Amino acid sequence: MLVTAGSFPFQPAGSESMMARTKSRPVALSAADREWLVRRVRTGSYPAQQVRRARILLELDENDPDRVGPVPTQEVVAQRAGVHVDTVVKTSRVYAERGGDVEDTITRKKRLTPPVEPKVTGEVEARLIALACSTPPQGHARWSLRLLEKHVALTDDIPDLDHSTIGKTLKRGRFVLT
């Protein structure tokens, strides 16, 4: 693959022309926020999505003491960060919506409710462990996950569970089938 000049997404800082632009959502970082973001970018031990957003905020910062000239356009910032322009727009919008909180801007928002309600609740787990502790049915020396799966399907007050789900539930409760 031949890489031509200008096609590499991470070009040096002074290689593009800087254009002034009107900003609907300016990013003005404090010195502490800037230092925190630089640590995120340079450490290499954070999720890539957080590093990308941190790089975008650092590029859009209007208070950057090392910058010569105006803040680069969103297109230039996108090219430097190796992302689409929409990502730059969304990141600056989230920064404005969250009141300039840098950590909330780059980290993922935690869901209030899980996408799917869990089948195994505390009561179901307790019933499952009680069943596994009981004596195995006639003709079996001990409980197996598949045997537990069959008996769970026959029990009315426990939802049908797969043998792998039963195994994970028992393992989480530090229960070992013997």
* Nearest one of 78, 82, 74, 81 to 24, comparing CA atoms: 74
At residue 42, the pLDDT reads: 92
Mean pLDDT of the chain: 82
Global confidence as pTM: 0.56
pLDDT per residue as tens digits for the range 134-155 = 899 999 999 999 999 999 888 8
How far apart, in Å, are the Cα atoms of 172 and each of 61, 98, 134, 162, 175? Answer: 46, 37, 19, 15, 8
Burial 88-112 (b: 16+ CB within 10 A, else e): bbebbebbeeeeeebeebbeeeeee
More confident residue, 57 or 158: 57
Residue 8: which pLDDT band, with cuts at 50, 70 and 90? Answer: very low
Is residue 136 within 8 A of residue 147, CB to CB? The reply is yes
